[in-house]
């Protein structure tokens, strides 16, 4: 019998199973406010049986957005807009998580499906278009075609930490169950951590210990602002996948320090910098979650093209990770956990995991297609 559908207690929260939804940017907000798109996009995963649904990377400041169309939580108005989404998730059986983020030198980027800034004047008005100079640990652009950022000073770094803390307090006011700090994918905290982006010569650059200093400052600020009974997740790139970048051993050191600072679970992704060398494939990041779990002795989330119920069960049952996160596979099948239960032979005619508005109809469909 698989542990995939066993509850997972963490801090004062009890997740009903091991399936969670990873953050997925939608680039569909105006002035940082979530809207009906975000309600439907996130809400369908609660209906589909996931135990925790984490929002897209949600900026802690206007300059922390990846693009002008990102969601944010730097104002009380934005927090208020998140509240009905949180309530819908919780009312339909899922915990609500928010990923707090700052894009650093990858900020002020084009919306991905455009690939460039080609908005017409009319579109700019309708979409609340903005551009700005990014901020980063060092005044070096992410790659060709990206704007040159300015280097953050010590006082500005203190402000970023306070921005994370203020966003955390707003997340609590909006009744989120989980906060996840985004320190992956080449964004600001990952930039400080990685030697690929951090070329500072002060106390925040150089050695791994120094490069960890600012991300840990942010973690401590968030933990202090977040109720102790609510879990704190940390998303990391467990490797830069670059010969001059971070290795899993480096990230395990950071994960251990983060655990001491109050992180409960580490969500293990990879990459994010120009020149990274990896080939995405089925389950390709699962070994990273297993390695960080072993080295740092911390619960982990595995993510990365986990596409079958059997693979998800094996990850949990073989203790490679404690939770399984889906992103694109969840977009493809928002009912993945409900379908996995059936695929693994655990349904046994019980459709109570489905929403009451749907379960009886699915049961009748199955009976019609598979008469006894």
**Which positions are annotated as active-site residues?**
187
CB 170 within 8 A of CB 134: no
CB 257 within 8 A of CB 216: yes
- Rounded Cα gap, residues 309 and 219, in angstroms: 33
- Characterize the bridge pairing of strands 95-101 and 52-59: parallel
- Characterize the bridge pairing of strands 150-151 and 265-269: unpaired
CB 161 within 8 A of CB 64: no
- Rounded Cα gap, residues 13 and 22, in angstroms: 18
Hey, how many other C-beta atoms are within 10 angstroms of the C-beta on 125? 10
CB 358 within 8 A of CB 93: no
CB 295 within 8 A of CB 265: no
CB 244 within 8 A of CB 197: no
Hey, how many other C-beta atoms are within 10 angstroms of the C-beta on 209? 12
Supply the DSSP symbol for 153: P
């Amino acid at each position: 019998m698989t542990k995939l559908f066993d509850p997972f207690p963490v801090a004062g929260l009890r997740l009903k199973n091991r399936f969670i939804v990873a953050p997925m940017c939608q680039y569909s907000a105006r002035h940082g406010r979530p809207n009906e798109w975000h309600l439907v996009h996130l809400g369908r995963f609660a209906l589909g049986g996931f135990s925790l649904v984490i929002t897209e990377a949600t900026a802690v400041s206007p300059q922390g957005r990846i693009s002008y169309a990102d969601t944010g939580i730097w104002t009380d108005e934005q927090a208020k807009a998140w509240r009905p989404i949180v309530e819908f998730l919780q009312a339909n059986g899922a915990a609500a998580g928010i990923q707090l983020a700052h894009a650093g030198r990858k900020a002020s980027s084009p919306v991905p499906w455009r690939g460039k800034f080609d908005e017409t004047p009319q579109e700019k008005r309708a979409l609340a278009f903005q551009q700005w100079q990014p901020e980063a640990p060092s005044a070096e652009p992410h790659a060709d075609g990206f704007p040159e950022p300015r280097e953050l000073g010590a006082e500005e770094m203190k402000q970023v930490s306070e921005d994370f803390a203020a966003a955390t307090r707003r997340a609590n006011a909006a009744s989120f169950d989980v906060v996840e700090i985004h320190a992956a994918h080449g964004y600001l905290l990952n930039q400080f951590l990685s030697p690929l982006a951090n070329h500072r010569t002060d106390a925040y650059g150089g050695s791994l210990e120094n490069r960890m200093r600012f991300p840990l400052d942010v973690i401590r600020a968030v933990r202090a602002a977040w109720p102790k009974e609510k879990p704190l997740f940390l998303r990391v790139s467990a490797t830069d996948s670059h010969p001059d970048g971070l290795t899993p051993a480096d990230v395990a050191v950071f994960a251990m320090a983060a655990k001491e600072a109050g992180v409960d679970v580490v969500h293990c992704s990879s990459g994010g910098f120009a020149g990274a060398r990896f080939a995405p494939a089925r389950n390709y990041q699962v070994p990273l979650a297993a390695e960080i779990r072993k080295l740092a002795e911390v619960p982990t989330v595995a993510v990365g093209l986990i596409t079958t119920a059997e693979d998800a069960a094996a990850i949990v049952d073989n203790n490679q990770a404690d939770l399984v996160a889906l992103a694109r596979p969840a977009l493809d099948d928002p009912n993945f956990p409900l379908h996995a239960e059936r695929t693994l032979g655990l349904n046994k005619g019980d459709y109570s995991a489905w929403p009451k508005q749907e379960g009886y109809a699915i049961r009748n469909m199955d009976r019609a297609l598979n008469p006894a």
